[in-house]
Amino acid sequence: MDKRLKDLRSRMIDTKAVTFDHTHKDHIRRRIKDTTISRFNLIKSLQNFFPIALTYLTLLFLVVSTGLFAASEVGLLPKNSSVSVSEHSLTKEMLYENVLASTEMIDIQKDQEKVRSIAHSYLENQRNWKITNHSATYGTHSTVLVQGKITEGYFDKMTFSIWIEPETGLPLNFVIRNQESSVLEQFKLPDETLAHVERQN
């Protein structure tokens, strides 16, 4: 009995005693072949996928860039989206003084008087207005948008908006609206005045 057990144990340990029939060998070959083909197909699929993905990403980048550029050109986005620290540190007092000082750059007397009137009538009392947008735009100009309420006079309880160029203090556009947002009065600084100021700078 012991001899038979020893003989069985030696046969189990001896790899040469293990035999494979043809069916088993064919099955192993097919498994190896299928595994090789699967890996090859995976590599081939990845090689085909990367150029397609890169093409789609490039097209997406071009479409987004074109859309942002077009939006900036038509005025939906500010042309200079980075707002400087100096603009954010612009106070009401500084803005009021800049608007008053801008009259010295204007060569047309009636425009000088209008700008001076805007500064004294609407910006002097700084409790009635605030800076609502430090990076607004008016046409092609980067501006600061000021909005406030009129508390006395003919336009009592009406609102006003002023687009002011921060570097020069020039009020490029001034609008008074009623409670229904209809425009009651508007003043735009003439193009020739802006051109004269640009030539001075």
Residues in the chain, overall count: 201
The pair of structure tokens assigned to 111 is 């425009």
Distance CA 96, CA 11 (A): 104
pTM of this prediction exceeds 0.95: no
164 has which bridge partners? Answer: 144, 171
pLDDT tens per residue across span 120-169:
999 999 999 999 999 999 999 999 999 999 887 777 779 999 999 998 99
Q: Which position has the higher pLDDT, 42 or 84?
A: 42
What pLDDT sits at residue 19? 56
81: nearest Cα among 90, 91, 72, 89: 72
Distance CA 177, CA 92 (A): 22
Classify 14 in phi/psi space as left (phi over 0), alpha (psi -120 to 50) or beta.
beta
pLDDT tens per residue across span 14-69:
555 455 566 766 666 677 666 666 666 667 766 777 777 778 788 788 878 777 76
What pLDDT sits at residue 132? 94
With bands split at pLDDT 50, 70 and 90, how would you rate the model's confidence at 114? very high
What pLDDT sits at residue 74? 52
